[in-house]
Structure 1
Amino acid sequence: MPTTGNNLLYVLNIPTLKTLDAHEGQWTQTAGFHTPGDGGASLYKIAASSDAEPNGADIIALDNGGVAILTENTAINYRQFGAVGEADHDDGVQIKRAHEYANDKQVPIINLSGEYWIKHVNVIPITTNVKWGKTTFHIDERYNSRKSPRFVVHNDRPTEPLDLTDNLKASLLDQIKPGVQIIPELAPYAGCLITVVDEDDRIGIRAGNYSKAGWAREEFFYVEEEGRIIGDIAWSFSNFTSATVTPCNDTYLTIEGGGFYFSGETPEDAEHSYYQHGILIQRSRTIVREQWMGLERGRSDDAMVPRSGFYVLRGVYDVTLENIRAMPWEKNRVDKDRELWAGTYGIGGARMLNCQFRNLTAEAGWVSWGVFGTNLNKNFRVENCRLNRIDVHFHCWNLTISNCEIGFKGISVTGGGELVIENTTRHGNQLVNFRRDYAAKWEGSIRLSGCTLRPTGEGKVAVLSYHPDNFDYQYPIGFGRHVTIEDLNIDYGAAPESESPCWLMDIVPFSKTDHGDRLFFPHRIVFRGITVEGRTKGVRLINIPDPYHYELSDDASYDDALFRPNCSLLCEDVQL
């Protein structure tokens, strides 16, 4: 029986609300959605049915022909929209409606507890802050989609074409090049992410059994006041086939808490493709933290398709993931009939600028693939993490790895800028593997400081491993412009019987490709404070069997008094 007080009608739940003969304009408060005290208590206003279309969530059809419209302007939770929290129910329907309501009213989702099952529903939109607390989600991976993630964090404003007049295009073609720091003509776009592309100029042709389409020459950068550029420019351009501007948000959106359990199954519509199952982040200035993920208890990862990443960052500036237990997924299974055809990832993305990853854990053995798999990743920073792999396939620019522990799948990158690895331990036979398929190049400085390499096998060990193919990658390839390795310990505790050589720099035996391209070689190399423990044999520096064709940034000179070399190697306190 409903009760009244101060012109507010109190009812037990939605079934009771539906039976009311309430008049238009009446306010009603429920004690729950399905049952009193289930967490779905809400305030509704009665309206004519012509005012809104009932949806069984925030707009409830009444038996008398009217509707009850949810009216909450501070925060909402999933129970208010009818989420059941039972394994045989797809709560994704109600969860999606809750987020749509929150986005429309610009109120946060605060759902601090409960278990929910998401089955068929995808593309749950997020544009407001979310606090999930101890809420757990069960993701039924039979319904993962190739194109649609479970959640999407949307940017507030859309990407639009940059209005390229002839004069502006000519000016940008002249100014967008390595070393530029200010482009005054872009000052009106302060607070925006700019992307310029020349689809007709293909670079980064991938060696091996892959498509030879390569990547379009592309740059993306953030514009600050007065046209100040954030994000080093690596390329010069002869033309732009497109240019876009993405307004970045002026506030930070946070997603806090939550646990995710996965069924580990193959999608019912499985094709030869990557599948999505998590959160796509398309909004700059987003922070995700305090999350956990893993397989359902008693389940194993049996999926026969690769995953693109639970977290996928795409076209964003200033995104942070922190305090997260992530998942690397199985690939190299013992049963070769069940081995995946491609890498499978826990964190993916492309066109990422100033993204930071702090206190992440994602470890596994030899079967699982790397947790990271990204492209076009600039100003990439990883701190205080324990990960089985850090990877950028194509075009990493400026990478810092600090106070981390990296597992069996290693550090695998190509690109340029500053590569800084400090106070980090790597378990494996290479500290850094520069990717062969994208030319094993680093166009910039490399500095390793205070690190430990712990070989896990008895084969050859290399601190820096460069093994590009003799192949036309359509961009310059080489071994860095400056290389410094200092305070490095190589600990053979896991491979004490190893007699194989340990190289500080392991390079290919050619200095010019068959296509006539000269490899660039560092102007300065410093090896200092390098020790070996667990065996008596020390390290080898570098073998240069074909030094004749390297491109060096400086010319050697002699003025009858001073000799200036085109390359110098300083070796100090190194255990040989």
Structure 2
Amino acid sequence: MKYILFLFCLLSSAVIVQGQDQTPKDQVSITSLNKRTRVSTNENGKLQVNVSPKNILKFKAQGWVNYGDFGAKGNGKADDMNAIAAAHAFANLHDLKVQAEKGASYYIGGKERTAIIQTDTDFGTAEFIIDDTKVENRNASIFMVSSSLQAYQLDGITSLKRNQEKIDLSLSQPSLITVANSNVKHYIRYGLNQNDGHAQTDIFVVDKKGHVDMNAPIIWDFDQITDIKVLPMDQSTLTITGGRFTTIANQAESKYTYYSRNIAIRRSNVIIEGLKHRVQGEGEHGAPYGGFINIRDCANVKVKNSLLTGHKTYKTIGNAGKPVSMGTYDISVNRSLNISFENCRQTNDINDRSYWGIMGSNYSKNLVYDNCTFSRFDAHMGVANATIRNSTLGHMGINAIGSGTLLVENTTVYGRSLINLRSDYGSTWQGEFIIRDCTFIPSNGKPNSANLINGSYSGQHDFGYTCYMPEKIIIENLRIEDANHTDEYQGPAIFSNINPKMTDDNYQEKYPYVITKKVIIKNVNTSSGKKLRLSDNPFMFQKVTVISD
């Protein structure tokens, strides 16, 4: 056998708005010449991998490869990224597992290279040092967990309805559907980071006959569709275990140039377990990060028993021309379904306000924290259904807008409010809140007011949709630790003063807010001894029915 040439295209970069259907940049040429196994690059920087016939037989027989097989030094000094990418490329081609060498320390410099993961990978106890101080392309992920199944455009579907149960199509396998209408703008942001909104967007799962999974239903009416894609879902589960990752933080100018030197998940049905990520070298300035674990355009991803790190908060000038703190994340979830974090922690103090909240999400459904200790849960541009249970949330607490059911159970919250409805997107939740067996420690015990549901809504800004408060709120067995308070403190309130100008019928909302109809309260007690009140603005909430034990 003289040689076999394999040429296959690999994704090499992923920013927060890219998906698995983006045009690939890297190519890896894999040959089997009767020469030694070797990894090199050509004049264009593309990887050229030769694997000897003898090694191919060996690797197939054992069922796995490691990075050292492709020339990785693992000494923490030599740049091992080419060897890492080559190992995964070969493993993908032959459906082999990848294992990191026990005790190895892999240095990853700033060159633009992404290792594509399509098979089970065990990082084990190996260390990965990701040096972001000099980076060729800040958008290039280090690892991308990718599907070999190709996304494609869907023809013939011109409209969709909210909660539609079936679509007239036939597919070869269950798939994600992403849909957009660029003629309708949603999430027209208000405030210091104001913008003109984003195209109406949704994502959902259908089976082979087009039946929609109603656990994550279509949440918008699409009178027109300008883009609709099918993302076939891998039915097997891909597992990634272990790994001790350290990011040496970038020293770039503090502006919205997000770094995506991360592990990007672009495949459905993935488990990540036992991963640890730390950050070092943050200085007086730096660009923000778009999530070390960056999940997009997929479903059924579970992160378990992992340790992550909040990033230092830097400031820049926002769209309104005033200083703003930049969001920077170790977890990012975008346009994804059924994503859970189980038994996860962060390395830094969840109540240290010098670090930004660890998580941000957009356009996602069925997000779960279970037994997690994080500084924040956050849904920027909407979440449909979220569950937080058995967890502890720090100084940034629970921030959300969206729809469906938000369940908070057996959880301690140290934020300024128990749940904050994000004012920059209309303080909207179309559905219900269930708060059960929780403890609320306002502002981490500092003297402050205590509001369970916070938000801000003037009724004068068009967010691109009708804004709602949760139609029904159920609060059972809540302990409020408010003993440390100001002299003016009157006791905790169900609702903050969401619109201080709305004090009588003379106030007119151009875009009326749909107020909560019913609050059911059972067994709420306070350390201050003060009773739970309705609000500092009783006029705004005068029509709310409150049922208490």
Query: How does the TM-score come out when normalised to structure 1?
Result: 0.79
In the alignment, which residue of structure 1 is the partner of 2:77? 88
2:531 is aligned with 1:538:
yes
Task: Tell me the equivalent position of 1:405.
Answer: 392
Q: Does the CA-based 8 Å contact 1:57-1:80 persist in structure 2?
A: no
Distance 2:124 2:76 in 1: 20
SS of residue matched to 1:128: coil
Q: Which residue of 2 aligns with 1:421?
A: 408
Which segment drifts farther, 200-209 or 144-153?
Answer: 144-153
Q: Secondary structure at the match of 1:526?
A: strand
Pairwise mapping of residues 24-63 of structure 1 onto structure 2 (< 5 A)?
A: 47=34, 59=50
Contact 2:154 2:230 in 1 (8 A): yes
Partners of 1:212 and 1:266 in 2: CA distance? 27
**Aligned amino acid, residue 278 of structure 2:** G
1:285 equivalenced with 2:272 (yes/no) = no
Look up the SS of the partner of 1:101 in the other structure.
helix
Partner of 1:353: 337
3-state SS of the aligned residue for 2:290?
coil
In the TM superposition, 1:159-238 aligns within 5 A as 159-164=151-156, 168-169=157-158, 173=159, 176-180=160-164, 182-188=165-171, 190-224=173-207, 226-230=209-213, 231-238=216-223
CA-to-aligned-CA distance 1:21-52 (integer Å, 9 cap, x gap)? xx989xxxxxxxxxxxxxxxxxx987279x99
Answer whether contact 2:145 2:263 (CA < 8 A) is retained.
yes
Counterpart position of 1:518 = 512
CA contact (8 A) 2:383 2:401 kept: yes
1:490 pairs, out of 472, 477, 480, with 480
1:256 is aligned to 2:241: yes
Which secondary structure does the structure 2 equivalent of 1:249 belong to?
Answer: coil
Partners of 2:2 and 2:183 lie apart in 1 by 62
Query: How many residues were matched structurally?
Result: 491
Q: Which has the larger radius of gyration?
A: 1
- Alignment-mate amino acid for residue 452 of structure 2: V
- Report the CA distance shift for 1:348/1:469 in structure 2 as closer, same or farther (over 3 A): farther
| Structure 2 spans left out of the alignment, 5+ residues | 4-30, 42-46, 316-322
Provide the rounded CA distance (Å) in 1 between the counterparts of 2:246 and 2:35: 42
- CA shift, 1:541, in A, is 2.2
**CA 1:252/1:512 → structure 2, altered by over 3 Å: closer, same or farther?**
farther
Match for residue 95 of structure 2? 106
Secondary structure class of the residue paired with 1:265: coil
Aligned position for 1:13? none
Say if 1:276 and 1:309, in contact at 8 Å, map to a contact too.
yes
What residue ranges of structure 1 are gaps of 5+ in the alignment? 1-22, 26-43, 62-66, 334-338, 551-565
Distance across 2 between alignment mates of 1:112 and 1:403:
35
What's 1:315 paired with? 297
* Cα displacement string for residues 386-444 of structure 1 (whole angstroms, at most 9, x for unaligned residues): 00011111111101101100011111111111111000000133111110100011000
Relative to 1, partners in 2 of residues 1:512 and 1:422: Cα closer, same or farther, differing over 3 Å? Answer: farther
Query: Aligned pair 1:148/2:137, yes or no?
Result: no
How many Å separate the matches in 1 of 2:114 and 2:242? 19
TM-superposed deviation, 1:523 = 2.6
Task: State the SS of the aligned residue for 1:472.
Answer: coil
Query: Paired residue for 2:123?
Result: 132
Aligned AA (2:311): W
The corresponding residue for 1:569 is 546
| 8 Å contact from structure 2 (residues 39, 71) kept in 1 | no
Taking the aligned partners of 2:507 and 2:140, their CA distance within structure 1 comes to 42
Match of 2:417?
A: 430
> Given that residues 458 and 499 in structure 1 are in contact (C-alpha distance below 8 angstroms), is that contact kept between their aligned partners in structure 2?
no
Q: Which amino acid aligns with 1:532?
A: T
Tell me how far 1:481 sits from its aligned partner: 1.1
Structure 2 CA distance for partners of 1:154 and 1:206, relative to 1, 3 Å: same
Cα distance in 1 for residues equivalent to 2:229 and 2:83: 36
Between the aligned partners of 1:76 and 1:48, the Cα distance in structure 2 is 18
**Greater alpha carbon shift after TM alignment, 506-515 vs 125-134:** 506-515
Structure 1's 528 and 283: CA in aligned 2 closer, same or farther, altered over 3 A?
same
Does the 8 A contact of 1:306 with 1:340 survive in 2?
A: no
Given that 2:39 and 2:48 are in contact with CA atoms closer than 8 Å, whether structure 1 keeps it comes out as: no
TM-score, normalised on structure 2?
0.83
1:465 equivalenced with 2:465 (yes/no): no
Q: Is the 1:92–1:120 contact (alpha carbons within 8 Å) kept by the matching residues of 2? A: no
Deviation at 1:86, TM superposition (A): 2.5
> Where does 1:360-371 land on structure 2 (aligned, <5 Å)?
360-362=344-346, 363-364=348-349, 365-371=352-358
Q: 2:138 is aligned with what amino acid?
A: R
CA-CA distance at 1:508 after TM superposition: 2.1
Which is worse superposed, 306-315 or 478-487?
478-487
User: Quick one: higher RCO (CA 8 Å, sep 6+), 1 or 2?
Assistant: 2
- The equivalent of 2:11 in structure 1 is none
Partners of 2:141 and 2:532 lie apart in 1 by 47
Following the alignment from structure 2 to structure 1, what is the Cα–Cα distance between the partners of residues 77 and 506? 63
Matched, 1:117 2:107: yes
Query: What is the Cα deviation at residue 60 of structure 1?
Result: 6.8
Report sequence identity in percent.
25
Secondary structure of the residue aligned to 2:139 is coil
Q: Find the residue that maps to 2:85 and give its secondary structure.
A: helix
Q: Which whole-Å CA distance do the structure 2 matches of 1:473 and 1:278 have between them?
A: 32
